[in-house]
Structure 1
Amino acid sequence: MRYSATHVLCAIGLGLLPAGTVLAQAAPDPYSQPVTCNANTFVDPAALSPLMPCDAPTSQKMNPALPATMTPGLIQESFDTFSWQSFVALNWPADGTAIGKGKDPGGDAPAVWQGWMDAFALMTANPPAWGSAPPLPAACKGLPAGTLLSMVGKTPDLLTASTQPFDSGPLIDQNGRYTRFQILVNKPMYDFIVGNRLTTKEGQAAYKPTVTPPNSTVPTMTFPGSFQTGPVTSGTPVATAPGYDGAVMLKLAYKVMGPTDDPARFHTLKALVYTAGATPEQDSCVAETVGLVGLHVGNKVQRFPQWVWSTFEHARNAPEQAQVDAGTAKGPYNYYNAACTAKDCPPNQPPPRPWNPAVQPFPGGYKTQVTRVIALADAYKAINAKWQAPLAGTVWANYELIGTQWPTQPDNQASPTGYSFPLFLANTTMETYTQGTVPQSSSTCIGCHNNAVDTAGRPSDFTYILSLAAKKIFPAAHAP
């Protein structure tokens, strides 16, 4: 696998992860769950498993199956393997059958994460019990059951209602439809938030942090982190180890399936696409089938206080800009029209105002023209092919890892971000208009989430979810 010189220098300078080193683990957080971890790394072909990894092994002592000397490329590959293991486990059928063997087109089936808690429903004075559905707005009553989708932007309070504009703009697919978004949390994260009464401003104000993470000098809010307790046990086809499951949060992007979209190429679900109006009477709700086009995974791993960030996309979202420049971009794409010139369809530009998701398709036939600014490295193309191979013929072979961002110096108190690598990482469905390599402007997961605070203005451990307690948005505003 090939990585850039910057990558090599960054990994060589890594103070945390010299080969053969294992850091002592703290006692498990009471909100973490004991589990059997997926400890399989560098297996060829890739081994599919419903088990989540609890750590990113970076030395032979952590996992005897690893090479005796971990080169910079293998360190990054370990994180990328962690990402793919997480992707497969998260998308494993909720009923426990094998991935890709479901009854829907492409072997699709409802995934594990579809039973997780919606962040909007969670951050209320009376959060729903785990496993229960969020409350429905009046406009959605009487429609067939489906997943409630109310976000029209990646950031929770951006264009949630049609009266709330935001800086980056919505994303319009090639059918002229607004892309929809969702934020979910797993059980350990739900338990931590509810158990510490963090769903309201009052609860957050009363909360007193008791944990001082290694990258801080004072007690700071610290979500439970996953970790392996070992030892690793060889198995067929997956090596396993005992461990603990920490907090995981997902951001998901969906396109409304159009007449030319093949359901055998998307993970699909039935949705209630809700659009808030200025008043409850102006709300709208439509039952639609939507397809997954983007997936961010924020995984709190105990050795990495800044979390490990993985981002996946549908492989046919958009071409790389280099392909466009070379004239080799061949459609169809979900967010790019290969027949439209750059003059008529300038890439990566927000749609013209006004933005009103209640009016679809977008007026004037407008569609967002998206290109990938930073091309996938050869290493990502190789690891994607490795993991897509055992998923061939299923919907999941149509998704690819765009990158894994992690802190190279996680315990460095002078750098809250832990000198993350890679420095920039963008998903074309979620950071469409902030791709690139411009400091303080281009997308970076850890750098962005380092700014997250609770409603009292205190650091909230790299998640913006707690800020929802202060916002009057659905379901609080228009719930019956």
Structure 2
Amino acid sequence: MRVFAVLFLLIASSLAAEERALCAVEPHDQFCPHYPADQTAFVRTHDYMLMSPTVQEPFDLFAWQAFLALNWPEGGARPGDAPEAARAWDSFPRRAELFGADAARAACGAPEGRLLIDGTRQADGHQLIDREGNFVVYDTRVNWVVADYIRANALDTLAGQMAFAGDVSFPMGEVGGQHPSILLKLAWRIVAEPDASALMRDATVFVPARDTLNGEAMCLDVAVALSGFHIVTRTSSGNGDDWIWTTFEHVRNAPTAANARSPNSIYAPELFPGGCMAPEQAEGFAFFDPERSPEANEPARAALWAAATPLARDQSGAPVTPPQVVRCWDRFAGTQVVNAHFQEALAGTIWANYMLINAQWRGTLPSPLAGQGEVPRYSSNITMETFFQDQLDASCLGCHSTALTADGRDANFTFILSHAQ
């Protein structure tokens, strides 16, 4: 039996600020558009359940380098250039482009440069509505490494998956070699007025007939603000051959709960007895209204889409009361130090208004205490996993370890293959 090397380092020095690389390649002290192919600063030689900043920080740096590379403006020399420019992720195929008919494209089309979004619910089926009564929508994409692997192995159809021999294993990134497999999910908040603190885009949202107030499918042209960003990268070292899961949010999404726990909390019969409690003061957040009841993280009634704001309505056409959202899990102390380092360097740009929630990786073997072995133990983005943050399985890598293909085999940590027909 392997022995857990539990690190009870209450005081640990992290990297000096000048050693925190802004870019994955030289010169490291300048921002760049280069996506980090691998995380090589830390190689796992022990099992880890609790983390010190010195162990976690390489993964947090990897996360920020990846986030900025994906959001690098086309033709720009710095992260803050050309807010209206296309970003690196714009060229990534949407999930619907890989599997079967693209209903949104067929129904709505979309001019070049305009986002086409067909995700209107979270993975568990819930809707997220902001305090203005408008929805959050979701855009799932993969990079060309993933798309090429799926197509080359005919994994884009059920018949192809059934004929596929062997295990699904997406390519791993290597420094100086193979570019990594990347999975993305973006959460966009529909806004009536531009938000100068966020990445803004014009978008067309496809809403199926079952979800609209008038019972007819709708193509809605809206402005959206980037609120959440999942980045999942498969690397060949540092994290073994597993994925590194990183997730970012806008800093003004929601307040941290008064009883928030450390993301390294180990197993407990009940993580948040009585629920996640709203703080006494919480002003200026998109998903929390201090003038309303503080009861938090209760889903709103199922809402239908109207053609005009506020978009979320009940069957009578009246606006739906939005949920009150708080963040159940605090950010790891070392991660907050890394956030401050990047936010200071990004001052004056919209990217200073985003924060890394955490970078999760496989640190140990699965166990009752360590879940699927992920570190930090718990991870959730409040724009995408709003209503099950307090659950014992509230873990990105833990959840995705159960992902299956459409024909029922292990899908290598992604649910996208289940959409094959």
Identity %: 29
Q: Check the 8 A contact 2:304/2:312 in 1, yes or no.
A: no
**Residue matched to 1:267:** 199
Contact 2:306 2:312 in 1 (8 A): no
Distance in 2 (alpha carbons) for counterparts of 1:279 and 1:375: 34
Unaligned runs of 5+ residues in structure 1 are: 1-6, 13-36, 61-70, 128-133, 159-165, 210-219, 229-241, 471-480
Whether 2:80 is the aligned partner of 1:100: answer: yes
Question: What is residue 257 of structure 1 aligned with on the other side?
Answer: 191
The answer on 1:357 being equivalent to 2:343 is no
Q: Say if 2:104 and 2:117, in contact at 8 Å, map to a contact too.
A: no
Match of 1:217 in 2: none
Unaligned runs of 5+ in 2: 10-22, 44-50, 260-276
* 1:49-448 → structure 2 map (5 Å cutoff): 49-59=32-42, 72-102=52-82, 104=83, 109-124=85-100, 136-138=105-107, 140-141=108-109, 146-155=114-123, 166=125, 169-209=126-166, 220-228=167-175, 242-259=176-193, 261-262=194-195, 264-278=196-210, 282-303=216-237, 304-322=240-258, 327-329=280-282, 331-342=283-294, 346-353=295-302, 355-358=303-306, 360-362=311-313, 363-409=318-364, 419-436=373-390, 438-440=391-393, 443-448=394-399
Per the TM alignment, residue 96 of structure 1 is displaced from its structure 2 partner at its CA by 4.4
Cα distance in 1 for partners of 2:110, 2:95 equals: 23
Amino acid corresponding to residue 347 of structure 1 in structure 2: A
Question: Residues 8 and 152 of structure 1: is their aligned pair in 2 closer, same or farther, counting only changes over 3 Å?
Answer: farther
Are residues 172 and 326 of structure 1, via their aligned partners in 2, closer, same or farther at CA, if it must alter by over 3 Å?
Answer: closer
Task: Please identify, of 427-436 and 116-125, the stretch whose mean Cα deviation from structure 2 is larger.
Answer: 116-125
Q: Return the alpha-carbon distance in structure 1 between the equivalents of residues 211 and 223 of structure 2.
A: 26
Q: Quick one: which amino acid aligns to residue 187 of structure 1? A: W
The Cα shift of 1:137 comes to 3.0
- SS in structure 1 of the partner of residue 339 of structure 2: helix
Q: Match for 1:38: what amino acid?
A: A
Tell me how far apart the structure 2 counterparts of residues 284 and 407 of structure 1 sit (CA, whole Å). Answer: 42
Cα displacement (A) at 1:146: 1.9
Q: Cα distance 1:100–1:182, how it changes in 2: closer, same or farther (>3 A)?
A: same
Question: Displacement of 1:394 after TM fit?
Answer: 0.9
Structure 1 CA distance, aligned partners of 2:372 and 2:385? 22
Q: Distance in 2 between matches of 1:305 and 1:414?
A: 22
Indicate if the aligned counterparts of 1:10 and 1:408 stay in contact, CA closer than 8 A: no
Q: What residue number does 2:274 align with?
A: none
Q: Do 2:211 and 2:305's aligned partners in 1 also have CA atoms closer than 8 Å? A: no
CA distance in 2, matches of 1:287, 1:307: 35
Whether the aligned pair in 1 keeps the contact of 2:278 and 2:296 (CA below 8 Å) is: no
d(CA) in 2 for partners of 1:78, 1:356 = 44
Q: Name the SS for the 2:209 alignment partner.
A: coil
Q: Deviation of residue 11 (structure 1)?
A: 9.1
TM-superposition CA deviations, 1:260-312 (whole Å, max 9, x none)? x52x2111111101101149981101111111000011101123333000000
For residues 141 and 49 of structure 1, do their structure 2 counterparts lie closer, same or farther at Cα, with a shift above 3 Å needed?
closer
Cα pair 1:226 1:243 within 8 Å, conserved = yes
Does 2:6 correspond to 1:9? yes
Q: Secondary structure at the match of 1:384?
A: helix
- Cα distance in 1 between the residues matched to 2:152 and 2:371: 27
State TM-score, norm by structure 1.
0.71
1:26 alignment partner in structure 2:
none
SS in 2 for 1:401: strand
Question: Could you tell me which amino acid in structure 1 is paired with residue 254 of structure 2?
Answer: A
Measure the CA separation in 1 of the matches of 2:188 and 2:279: 29
Q: Give 2:406's match in structure 1, choosing from 455, 458, 462.
A: 455
- In 1: Cα distance, 2:110 partner to 2:98 partner: 23
Distance 2:287 2:199 in 1: 17
Distance 1:40 1:449, change over 3 A: farther
Q: 1:465 to 1:392 in 2, by over 3 A?
A: same
SS in 1 for 2:341: helix
Query: For residues 416 and 452 of structure 1, do their structure 2 counterparts lie closer, same or farther at Cα, with a shift above 3 Å needed?
Result: farther
Mark the CA change 1:414 to 1:207 in structure 2 (over 3 Å): closer, same or farther: farther
1:413 CA drift (Å): 12
Considering only aligned residues, what root-mean-square deviation do their CA atoms show, in Å? Answer: 3.2
Note closer, same or farther for the CA distance 1:56–1:39 as it changes in structure 2 (3 Å cut). farther
Deviations 1:393-417 (A, max 9, x none): 111111000001100137x899997
- Residue 464 in structure 1 maps to residue 421 in structure 2: no
Deviations 1:332-388 (A, max 9, x none): 21111122232xxx21111113x3234723334511211011122322221111001
Displacement, 1:427? 0.5
Q: Aligned partners of 1:8 and 1:267: how far apart in 2?
A: 42
| Contact 2:141/2:183 (<8 A) preserved | yes
